[in-house]
Structures are given as structure tokens and as C-alpha cells.
Amino acid sequence: MGCGVSYNTSGLTIELCNQTRENSIYLSGEDIHCVVQFNSFECDPELRLKGAFIELIGQVIYTTSSTYRDYNGNMRTTQTIHRIPFLCQHKNFYPNLTPDTPITISDFRSSDLWLFKFTLPHELPPSLPPTGYSKSQVIYFVRVLLECDQWYHPNIRHSIPITIYPRRDVPYDSIRHPIEAEYTNRKNVNLHVIIIENILFPGTPFPIQYDLHNPSYATVQSILVQLYQYRQMGSSGPTKSLVFEIKIPDIQEFCQEYYHGELQLIVPFRFLPPTSFHRFDADSRLMEFDPTSITYKLVFETQISGFFTDFSLKVPITIGIEENDRSSLPPSYESLMKQS
């Protein structure tokens, strides 16, 4: 979602200079420090600017479709992309720069660089890329805009994407605990699992213990462990996307009475928003996306020979941000369900 430095043909460069995580990830409530440089000598030095500012912007992007009949009587469908801002922090390069007192590009370029700081609000939705059939997304970016005084000159602009996750101050010891779950099907095949911790972190291994009781000696063909993300954005309904899946290697065409095993898994270290819940302001144009929540479940898909014998054991878990930052732990799955 961003490398922290951006270069482009406009001559504007934006560098994030206080990154402590990869991929330009920040937590709500943190400061974003950035350096802006303008090194383009291709512009007319007499080009006048009536405004120069930098912005931190958060937007919800979604697509709507409409159908109409053209002049030949054929039905046509068009799609419209909507960008609704919910966060905008605005800072001027020159507070006295106005349309009545423009400056030239050469005067603007005389400064080597500019330093800016943005402070993120404490309550923000997480960055969300489009997933599956849902094109709705939440994005954040830092943008620099130089407004030209002459109408026939296009404005000079450049932006750099950033990733923002909500910080949740939750007591560490009170929420980290093992999870147990089990299911018994009509053939009395019982699967009992213990996940050592209910909070998982990207890139960090986590063990799962499981016991398979099979008193009827049915053939257990396989057990597939899957991690699913469930995204709810208001009235648009929930979307489900697969994060990873793995087949338990020791359970393939298993027909013995009992088996105990342990599986070591790792949540992929990639762009993965944490478990979170957010409500937009009541006067916002984003009420149809209220609330926005991210939850996760580990699913044990168990396939057994016979009719109507397969079953799914679903275990809600919490995805955190980073294990060494205890103050950033997200709320538990149960507390999110109470809020919704």
C-alpha cells in the first residue's frame, strides 16, 4: 500500500520520515511526519501559483450501476465510481498565498524542502482494499496540490498512499486466552480443537491442538483448516474472503478410532486489517456504510464418507497488528458482536 517515498514526473516528492513499520502502516492516534520537495525545472518559471497545500485524506470508494435505454432501444449499463471523504487535514505551504497574491514557480522552488506533521484521530476505520465481488474500499493518502493561477494551466499534484489501522487500548492479560471448540456429526465423529491463543498476529506462528474421536470407524477423508475474513460495510451486506487454507497432513482417509495431533500455522504477513469496528458520524454521507467491521474465523472443514456427514467447525478469532505492541490489540470478537 506504499513504500514511504514517492517519485513522479510532476517534480514533487513526498517522503514519510517516521516509519516504524513496513508498507507505510500507521496506527490511529499516531503522528505522520513527511518531507516534501519540488525539483522540477520543466515548468515555466513564470507560472503563477495561487495556492500550495498538503492534505491527509481518508475516503470510502464504492461503485454504483445504472441501466438506461439508448436511442436504438438497447439496454445499457453504466458504472459510477463514488469517492466520499471522511477525513481531511489541510495545511498550507504559505499561509499568505491567495489568488490575490500569487507567487511564481521559481519563487516556490527556492525553498529546498518542507516538513509537515499530521496527527491521526483516535477513531478511524482500517484501510480496506477491494475484495471479491465487493468493490467498496477505504483508502488513505497524503496529497500535495499546487494550484495554478492561469486557468489554462493544469494544477500540479502528487499523492502517496498510506495504510492506517485502528489502535485499541485493551488490557493484554485479560483477553489473551485459549479457545476450545468441538462438533459431533450424525456418525458420532467428534472433532475437538484447542487454539492456544485467541489473538493471532501476522507473521507469528500459532499452534492448534486437535482430537479426533471416531467410535464408528468412519472414513475421515480430510480436514481442511481455513482462515476467513468477514467484512461488513453497512447495508451492503457481509463479504467473505479466504486468507489461507491448509490440509491437515495426518488426516487423510483416516478410519481409526482416535487421533491426537498438533498443527503449527502462521497467519500470512501481508496487508491484513485487524479485527475492528467503526461507526461514521451521524451527519456523514456514509451512513449506508455504518457500521464497518472486520472479523475473522478459523474454519475446520471436515469431509467424511457417507451422506450428510460432512461438517464445519467455526471458531471466531481476533487478528492483531503486531505482537510487540500490546496497546494496539484490537477488541475481542465477542465485544464486537455486542456493539453491532
81-99 pLDDT, tens digit each: 888 889 999 998 887 777 7
> What pLDDT is recorded for position 5?
56
Residues 236 and 289 sit within 8 Å (Cβ to Cβ): yes
Comparison of pLDDT for 234 and 105, the residue scoring more: 105
Give the pLDDT mean for 296-320: 93
Residue-level pLDDT at 42: 65
DSSP, residue by residue, 182-236: EEE-TT--EEEEEES-SEE-TT-EEEEEEEEE-TT---EEEEEEEEEEEEEEGGG
Does an H or E element contain 58, and which? strand 48-69
More confident of the two residues 193 and 166: 193
What does the pLDDT read at residue 6?
A: 54
- Distance, in Å, from the CA atom of 33 to the CA atom of 29, rounded to the nearest integer, reads 13
Q: Average pLDDT of the chain?
A: 82
Answer whether 130's CB lies under 8 Å from 137's CB.
Answer: yes
Q: What is the pLDDT of residue 170?
A: 47
pLDDT attached to residue 99: 79
Residues 3-7, mean pLDDT to the nearest whole number? 54
**What is the H or E stretch that residue 114 is in?**
strand 114-119
pLDDT digits (tens, 9 = 90+) for 256-270: 999 999 999 988 877
Q: Is the pLDDT of residue 223 over 90?
A: yes
The residue among 17 and 290 whose pLDDT is bigger is 17
Grid cell at residue 190: 467428534
Lowest mean pLDDT among 1-5, 33-37, 238-242, 325-329: 325-329
Q: CA 320 to CA 326: how far, in whole Å? A: 9
Alpha-carbon gap, residue 246 to 263, rounded angstroms: 10
Q: Would you say the pTM of this structure is higher than 0.85?
A: no
Q: How far apart are CA 72 and CA 78, in angstroms?
A: 16
Q: For residue 24, give the DSSP letter.
A: G
- Residue 246 in this model has a pLDDT that exceeds 90: yes
pLDDT reported for residue 328? 45
Task: Say how far apart CA 3 and CA 57 lie, in whole Å.
Answer: 18
Scored b (16 or more CB within 10 A) or e, 125-149 reads: bbbbeeeeebebbbbbbbbbbbbbe
The kind and range of the H/E element at 339 are helix 333-339
Q: What is the pLDDT of residue 310?
A: 94
Stronger pLDDT, 306 or 192, i.e. the higher one? 192
12-16 and 5-6: which strand pairing? antiparallel
Domains and CATH numbers, the chain: 5-165 (2.60.40.640), 172-339 (2.60.40.640)
pLDDT of residue 333: 43
| Mean pLDDT, range 16-28, rounded to an integer | 80
Grid cell listed for 24: 507505510
Specify the higher pLDDT residue, 177 or 181. 181
% of the chain surpassing 70 pLDDT: 83
State the pLDDT at residue 336.
43
So what's the pLDDT on residue 105?
79
d(CA 229, CA 326): 22
The arithmetic mean of pLDDT across residues 148-170, rounded, is: 83
Burial of 258 by CB count in 10 Å (0-12 exposed, 13-18 middle, 19+ buried)? exposed
Which of 103-107, 310-314, 328-332 is predicted with the least confidence, judged by mean pLDDT?
328-332
**Which range, of 76-80, 139-143, 249-253, 304-308, averages the lowest pLDDT?**
76-80
